[in-house]
Amino acid sequence: MNPSNAPSAAEYGGDEVSAIVLDPGFSTTRAGFAGEDTPKSLIPTYYGKYSFEGQGKLIYGDDVFVTPRPGLSIHNPIGRDGVVEDWDMAEKVWEYSFTSKLTGAKPGNPLHNGLNDLPEGELPSEMEGVESEERPLADSPLLMSESSWNPAKAREKTIEIAMEKWGSPAFYLARNGVLAAFAAGKASALVVDIGASNISVTPVHDGMILKRGVQHSPLGGDYISSQIRALFKSNSPQPIIITPHYLISAKTAVEAGQPPQVKYKTFPPERAPDASYRTLVEERTLSEFKECVVQVWPGPTKLSSTGPNGTPNEEIARNSPGRPFEFPDGYNQVFGVDRYRVVESLFDAKAAIQDPESLFPAPTQAQTVPELIKAALNGVDVDIRPHLLSNVVVTGASSLLYGFTDRLNQELMQLYPGPRVRISAPGNTSERRFSSWIGGSILASLGTFHQMWISKKEFDEHGPNIVEKRCK
């Protein structure tokens, strides 16, 4: 028999599958139908909590940004290390990601939806055999992605939610490093993923992650935000305070560097949202700042050292044209060398801008991108290192920082002067932001993928541990 043939058709058969692909990140959760180019549903993983007339309320999706409700506080069910901390809320946020835009909300219990209320004087009829609740994924196989260091317990919990809570007929859990490598056409690659809460380096060989080589550190997009905040505090001519739009009632245009002319909206303490709401909204301004202003120093030498002709790099950076940025309160300024300084510590820990109040401790050199790559390569067989270096795949939204891949290339060429270093990074921004989702979308849409799915029947027979055996 041809050794590549599947032993027998899986319980879950048929090509007309409308699988759902769910790629849950720390900052955003991506969900959509398999076969589509980009995830239809892109929501923040953050959710809001407030109380109204004594009742606890929750808000999900983009709605969290909209209204500064009294006492509104912002939370995230996922830990900074990318592993779920609050399973109940993770389930709710993920469920919202597909029910809000893809599958529709599940209908309520037919006993209570009013359609089956008894007209007066009539006796109740048999309600047996009526499912008390329709489950949200009863018709949809589900492919989810996960980080390379997701522990076995978390993987089992994930399949339990999919099968038992959502009623999915089939499930698969794929490592996002493998999905990103495959999406770049490679079965072996070194995947460098720059996310919001983490940066990670995952060696993938022959379609499998090499666990010993997997490295990650917290210097992701949120860390860069903390560096920008540190910069704003020490800014001259004056410290910059980010005032979100919801706190501004009127503003007048001002010249660059002049104090903002603004009328603030004030909330009495009992009407004010929690500080976590303001932080979340400020983050949107910081994202815009990263997209428009921040630039990675191109190298080849560190920003703090001297270029080939003896001029300090900082001076070259200072003399290059700056970029203007206007804040929500109208304050605006041109940023010169500082726009390089806020990201330099991704490569050179000593360059970090000090801020004792920051949530992020000062980085160590071992947490920087080049050192993570070095550690990842040291963790794998020496024979495959050159191959991984010639197949570096860069992904993750924060890798879109202007100049990031050029600098990474310089750093790697210096670290490894011998072997050929080649970076592949999609130029298309949505492919860079959603590469794991897109990879999952393609696989789950293939008719032939049915043999990979774990069916409900298999789950019932073998229990949640089947995910460890089938999704390697």
**Min separation Cβ 214 and other proteins, Å:** 15
Q: Which is nearer to other proteins, 5 or 236 (CB)?
A: 5
Q: Which is nearer to other proteins, 143 or 376 (CB)?
A: 143
Q: Which is nearer to other proteins, 357 or 383 (CB)?
A: 383
- Which regions of 153-195 does DSSP assign to beta strands (E)? 170-175, 189-194
Q: Which is nearer to other proteins, 3 or 119 (CB)?
A: 3
Query: What's the Cα-to-Cα distance from 163 to each of 8, 52, 131, 469, rounded to whole Å?
Result: 22, 34, 16, 17
**Min separation Cβ 269 and other proteins, Å:** 51
Q: What is the DSSP string of 4-27?
A: TS-SS--SS--S----EEEEE-SS
**Min separation Cβ 28 and other proteins, Å:** 20
**Min separation Cβ 3 and other proteins, Å:** 5
Provide the token pair at 127: 């309600």
Strand partners, 78: 84
3-state secondary structure of 134: coil
φ, ψ of residue 346 to 5 degrees: the values are -70, -20
CB–CB of 238/259 below 8 Å?
yes
- Footprint of other proteins on this chain (CB under 8 A)? 2-6, 174-175, 178-179, 181-188, 206-208, 387, 390-391, 424, 426, 431, 438-439, 442-443, 446-452, 470-472
**Min separation Cβ 216 and other proteins, Å:** 20
Burial letters 184-213, b for 16+ CB under 10 A, else e: bebebbbbbbbbbbbbbbbbbbeeebbeeb
Q: Which is nearer to other proteins, 6 or 111 (CB)?
A: 6
User: Of 396, 456, 444, which is closest to residue 222 (Cα–Cα)?
Assistant: 396
As a whole number of angstroms, the distance between CA 252 and CA 246 comes to 16
Q: Which is nearer to other proteins, 287 or 391 (CB)?
A: 391
**Min separation Cβ 449 and other proteins, Å:** 5
**Min separation Cβ 25 and other proteins, Å:** 19
Query: What's the Cα-to-Cα distance from 464 to each of 157, 243, 319, rounded to whole Å?
Result: 7, 47, 59
Q: Which is nearer to other proteins, 339 or 385 (CB)?
A: 385
